[in-house]
Amino acid sequence: MFSWSDYLYLIMQTVVLKVAMSCEGCAGAVRRVLTKMEGVETFDIDLKEQKVTVKGNVKPEDVFQTVSKSGKKTSYWEGETEATAPAASAPAAAEAPSTEAEAPATAPATEPAPEITPAKADA
């Protein structure tokens, strides 16, 4: 049987990594390991930006490990980490909406208080 976290990885994921690549040879090393990785549908290697974008039925941590095997220094792309991380973990994704739902409920409760005060002034 599949667990909930296994089910989430059957959904298309996008993983964006920063990979230290200085030449086409470096990009070729990354290309070789991604071509062999199971579940990868497409990938884009931007040598100038040192950015690798991978799409497929993959786990972000598996993509990270695979690209690291190329011997290149690898990290998650800072601008994309937030977008990727919640989709990558089932418990965080399941808990985040509840927490976010509570947070906005708290914020409007704070904001309507000033709105009530003017309403009392009218009364």
In terms of pTM, does the model score above 0.95? no
Region of poorest pLDDT, from 1-5, 44-48, 110-114: 110-114
pLDDT tens-digit readout, 62-87: 999 999 999 999 999 987 543 344 44
> Which value, to the nearest 10 degrees, does the dihedral of the CA atoms of residues 81, 39, 73, 47 take?
-90
Q: What is the pLDDT of residues 92-109, one digit of tens each?
A: 444 444 434 444 444 444
Domain-wise residue ranges, the chain: 4-88, 95-123
> Whole-angstrom Cα distance, residue 66 to residue 35?
10
Q: Which fold has domain 4-88?
A: Alpha-Beta Plaits (3.30.70)
